[in-house]
Amino acid sequence: MRSRPGFDPASLVSGVIVIALGGLLLLDQADVIDLSFAYALPLVLAAIGGILLACGLAGASRGE
């Protein structure tokens, strides 16, 4: 498998968002923080929106 040349900021931003969301969910399961559904749903939707925004902004400058 060959890697594509260049830097893909959308993948980096998406990965950081998913890791941050996973970290928050892990802290909730370990009872370090109390993350109720009223806070979790907006966090998940914001993460999805951030990923879509990063992919959309990165896709406009590629010129493929």
The per-residue pLDDT for 40 is 85
Q: What percent of the chain has pLDDT over 90?
A: 31
Q: What are phi and psi of 36, to 5 degrees?
A: -85, 170
The whole-angstrom separation of Cα 9 and Cα 42 is: 24
Tell me the per-residue pLDDT of 26-49, one tens digit each, with 9 for 90 and over: 999 999 988 888 888 898 899 999
Residue partners of 44: CB distance under 8 A and separation at least 6 = 21
* All structural domains of the chain with their residue ranges: 14-57
- Does pTM surpass 0.75? no
Structure tokens that stand for 36 in this block: 């109720």
The whole-angstrom separation of Cα 45 and Cα 11 is: 18
pLDDT at 61 over 70: no
More confidently predicted of 50 and 60: 50
